[in-house]
Amino acid sequence: DAKTTQPPSMDCAEGRAANLPCNHSTISGNEYVYWYRQIHSQGPQYIIHGLKNNETNEMASLIITEDRKSSTLILPHATLRDTAVYYCIAYFAYSGAGSYQLTFGKGTKLSVIP
């Protein structure tokens, strides 16, 4: 799996958009970009994933650059409950037999400030 690079920490004011960057310059054509977050010591929570098109769901938006070398996770209106470590993972998920292992890096610790 491609290595990803994220800033170790970020702050965001409550109510503002949180934009979390991720660099994955060595990503291969069949690797998706997945985002998870971990609140304190809870199980990692899936947020969103995408291959090359931008994606949006009820939690967040994912913007992937055209060359797929980087992406940004956007939490549109950050709340205190969004304070967590956010992981960006380049992941090859193949259908049928199942998915390959996730490789978690150190992630970005997002602190949402009142």
Partner 1 sequence: EAQVTQNPRYLITVTGKKLTVTCSQNMNHEYMSWYRQDPGLGLRQIYYSMNVEVTDKGDVPEGYKVSRKEKRNFPLILESPSPNQTSLYFCASSYGGVPYFGPGTRLTVT
* Neighbour tally for 97: CB within 10 Å: 6
C-beta separation of 20 from 12 below 8 A: no
Q: State the nearest-atom distance from the C-beta of 101 to partner 1, in Å.
A: 5
13 vs 39, which CB is nearer to partner 1?
39
Please name every residue paired with 37 in a beta bridge, in sequence order, or none if there are none.
45, 86
Q: State the nearest-atom distance from the C-beta of 38 to partner 1, in Å.
A: 9
DSSP string, 40-51: TTSPPEEEEEES
Greatest Cα pair distance, the chain, in angstroms, is 45
Contacting residues toward partner 1, per CB under 8 A = 34, 41-46, 49, 93-99, 101-102, 104-106
Q: State the nearest-atom distance from the C-beta of 108 to partner 1, in Å.
A: 13
97 vs 114, which CB is nearer to partner 1?
97
78 vs 89, which CB is nearer to partner 1?
89
